Structure 1
Amino acid sequence: MESLTLSDRVLSIIDELEPGDTLEAKVTRLAESELRRRLARYQLTDRQFRAKYGTSLEEFEAGEVVARMNYSFEVESDHQDWDLAVDGIRSAERQLAELLGNS
């Protein structure tokens, strides 16, 4: 991993956001907070589509709902957004596990 240099301005902001401790600990906490925020957003999207369609994404795809709904723009768009959210959940969970050493 290459060495990283941060400006005094960025270091000052990081210190305000996460006072005390080492720079690595501060950045780790900031990264964890961001990953948890993203995870919550993806999980909310997943819950909203589960409620809207009354099924999981896997069942939605297996049931060929997009085709059954005549490939309507709304259903296709929902499918893409839902797929991105479920993929985002997996990615954020994996990244959190790696960051926190739970891999």
Structure 2
Amino acid sequence: MLQVELPNRLLSVLNSLEPGAAPKQQVVRLAEQELRRRLARYQLTDRLFRQKYGITLDEFEAAEVVKTRGYSFEVENDHQDWDLAVDGIHTVELQLASLRGEA
């Protein structure tokens, strides 16, 4: 296990965010909160593209929407952003499970 010494100013901030918790618990909670924030952002992106196109990413790719819409910059950009969001959802869910000791 890696041991890290935390500066007093960081410990002070951690204690103000999570009073009474051990520094290790405080760092774990911060990591979990950041992962949840990222997950929410990725899920929002996925939901917005599902609404915009009326289908899931898998359906979007199977229907070759980028091709049928003439490889427009907007559609190609949407596809890349959507793919990153869906991959991000999967990655963050794995990271959260690992953090919780479920994986």
Match of 1:73 in 2: 73
Unaligned runs of 5+ in 2: none
Q: Any runs of at least 4 consecutive aligned residues in structure 1 with deviations exceeding 2 A, and if so which?
A: none
Task: Report if aligned partners of 2:15, 2:21 keep a CA contact under 8 Å in 1.
Answer: no
Indicate the percent of aligned positions where both proteins have the same amino acid: 63
Q: Deviations over 1:55-97 (max 9, x none)?
A: 1101111111101111101001100110110011001100000
C-alpha RMSD of the superposition: 1.0
Deviation at 1:25, TM superposition (A): 0.8
Counterparts of 1:20-99 in structure 2, within 5 Å, are: 20-99=20-99
Aligned length: 103
- What's the TM-score once normalised by structure 1's chain length? 0.94
Deviation at 1:21, TM superposition (A): 1.8
- What's the TM-score once normalised by structure 2's chain length? 0.94
Unaligned runs of 5+ in 1: none
